[in-house]
Amino acid sequence: MGRAGREIVKVNVDEVLEDLLKAYADEWLAHYQYWVTAQWISGIDADVLRGILLKQSEDELKHAEKLARRIMQLGGKPILNFDELLKKSGCGYIPPPEDPTNLKQVIEDVLKSERCAIQFYNQMIEKYRHTDVITHEIFEELLEDEVDDEEEWERILQKL
Ligand SMILES: [Fe+2]
Ligand SMILES: [Fe+2]
C-alpha cells in the first residue's frame, strides 16, 4: 500500500493486521468446517443441508479472500502455514459430530460459529469506525452476510 493509503489509517497498523488475521483464520476454518461437514453428513434431510453448507462454505472462502486482500494492502501476509490458522483463530474450529446423522448438532455447531463471527465483527465495526474506513467497510460487509447465514440456519433448525 502507498504512503497516503497507510497515512489514512489512524491506528497502529500492526493491531489492524492482528484483527484481520484473526478474522481470516475464523473464515478459513468456517469454510473448512462447513465443507467437510457437507462431505460427512448422511440420513434424511442431509441432502438439503449439504447444499446449504457447500454454498456457505464458498461464501466464507470469499470472506477470507477479502480479508487477505486487505491484509496485503496493509503490508501484511495472510496465514501461510496451516497450523497457524488454529492459533490465530478467535472462534476456533468445530469438527462435525461423530454421528453423521446428527443434523441437529451440525446446525447448532454452525450457529455457534456464525454467532461468534457476528459478535467479533460487530466489535470490529465499532473499533474501526473512525480510524480505518476500508477495514471498517469490509467488516460491515462480512457482518451482513453472517447475519443472513444465522437467520437461514435458525429457520432450518426450527423445521428439523
Ligand atoms: Fe464469513
Ligand atoms: Fe457465515
Whether residue 134 is contained in a domain is answered as yes
Whether residue 74 is contained in a domain is answered as yes
pTM: 0.95
Whether residue 96 is contained in a domain is answered as yes
Tell me, what's the pLDDT at 7? 80
CATH number at residue 16: 1.20.1260.10
Nearest-angstrom CA–CA distance, 100 and 41 = 4
**CA–centroid distance, residue 41 to ligand 2 (Å):** 19
**CA–centroid distance, residue 106 to ligand 2 (Å):** 14
Q: How many domains does the chain have?
A: 1
Whether residue 4 is contained in a domain is answered as no
Tell me, what's the pLDDT at 1? 73
Whether residue 1 is contained in a domain is answered as no
Whether residue 2 is contained in a domain is answered as no
Locus of grid cell 497498523: 13
* Residue-number span of the structural domain to which 111 is assigned: 9-159
Tell me, what's the pLDDT at 156? 94
pLDDT in tens, the chain (160 residues): 778 887 888 899 999 999 999 999 999 999 999 999 999 999 988 999 999 999 999 999 999 999 999 999 999 999 999 999 999 999 999 999 999 999 999 999 999 999 999 999 999 999 999 999 999 999 999 999 999 999 999 999 999 8
Whether residue 27 is contained in a domain is answered as yes
Whether residue 101 is contained in a domain is answered as yes
Helices (H), the chain: 3-7, 13-40, 46-73, 82-88, 103-128, 133-159
**CA–centroid distance, residue 64 to ligand 2 (Å):** 11
Closest ligand relative to 28 C-alpha: 1
Phi first, then psi, for residue 94 (nearest 5°) are -115, 115
